[in-house]
Amino acid sequence: MKVAVINCGSSSIKYEVFGLPDCLMLAAGLVENIGGSESRLRQRKRNADGTFDELVYSKRLADYRDGFDFMADVNREDRIIKDDSELFGIGHRVVHGGELFREPTVIDDEVVDAIERLVPLAPLHNPSNLLGIKAARIRFVGIPQVAIFDTAFHQTLPPHAFHYATPYEWYDAHRVRRYGFHGTSHRYVSREAARYLGKAPESVNLITLHLGNGASAAAVQRGSSIDTSMGLTPLEGLVMGTRSGDIDPAIHFFMMRQTGMSSNDLEKSLNSQSGLKGICGLNDMRKIIDQAGLGNDRAELAIDIFCYRIKKYIGAYFAVLGSVDAIVFTGGIGENAGMIRERVCRGLEHLGIAIDNARNEAVPGSVAEIQKDGTPVKVLVVRTDEEQEIAQQTVHAIERGKPAQRRPVAELPVRSQ
């Protein structure tokens, strides 16, 4: 039997297929330019010896339904999923679950309606996720499908951590609060870190750092998220590739008065023209590091700001957790940029954190520790695998045989402003 993991964008379907029971990834693909003049499907297929073949197919696809048909045809032709009867289930990544969804949830009509009501909280992502869910339910009739929410892992935040000090009516009427994102990754790496340490997740305290073009930190206490850097939206928190992260909220009003920017223009600027890109014109950390090495002062400044903000969150989460077993780096930057890991941890010896430079420069396997011997706090690099986490959660949700816990939709009004 197989499990398919689906992540739908505005004109794309990203997918992976896993074999059961070991959840081995068999194929990964991307259907892109749906609705365009010519769509493409790029797929990597695992061979028996562990190598991969990559193939590209082209076809005009009008909509997501055509995209799923195309994906199924290619997988049948490549003998990855011979027919729909081989599918145990389908897991869908959904960005925002609000307060309704705390766990992976088997999809039915009520769940679809609930996700639709949450669109005001994630207008850039949930609509695409929904279109994919609706098309997949039509194409794969009778196959259990599960929604996995980026926000679910952070639903354990206590009220003092998720509430903002804004008028309480904003929360009552519009559900303005901290939700957090990258939850699937934070959940996966926190469990992998605990496994590596030889402990149950419920017995360790971790600070997890998902660092990529999007970046977030989480304080994980005994297996549960108790604080995280992203907020109502993914804009809050750490400096990111194109997002500003934390700024003085009054900057919004100042810039609108000074420049005449509209709220839409300002939102676009803070989400897509800020962060590393806003500082030095680049949002690829590899290129920024190269430019800094060539003496580019703005690139060096971007690195300094990026690392400084992470360091501040580490200090804050130390205070929140009381004791920390390990700092966990993950994500494209966290896993691959040794210089960033070293810069983040530099000067934190008083907290029991110190990097071994040789270990930091050569990180083997899926989990590695890079701290100096005898250092109280472990520093781990853990390769995240959100798709495998979604596949595993999909299997567990289906095996439970019922939708996971969620509060009744009627209790949680979500209104657009």
Q: Is 73 a residue of the active site?
A: no
3-state secondary structure labels for all residues of 213-266: CCEEEEEEECCEEEEECCCCCCCCCCCCCCCCCCCCCHHHHHHHHHHCCCHHHH
Catalytic-labelled residue, pool 66, 150, 227, 325: 150
Mode of pairing for the β-strands spanning 205-211 and 224-228: unpaired
Beta bridge partners of 56: 42
| Residue 341 CA neighbour count, 13 Å, CB half | 34
Phi and psi at 147, nearest 5°, equal -95, 130
Q: How far is CA 90 from the centre of its chain?
A: 18
| Residue 167 CA neighbour count, 13 Å, CB half | 4
Q: Which residues contact 271 (CB under 8 A, 6 or more apart)?
A: 235, 242, 243
Q: Which residues contact 6 (CB under 8 A, 6 or more apart)?
A: 13, 14, 15, 90, 91, 92, 93, 132, 136
Mode of pairing for the β-strands spanning 215-221 and 224-228: antiparallel
Report the phi/psi class of residue 336: left, alpha or beta, with left for phi > 0 and alpha for psi in -120 to 50.
alpha
Q: Tell me the C-alpha distance between 196 and 368, whole Å.
A: 9
Q: Dihedral, CA atoms, 393, 384, 34, 87, nearest 10 degrees?
A: -30
Q: Tell me the C-alpha distance between 183 and 149, whole Å.
A: 8
Which residues carry out catalysis? 150
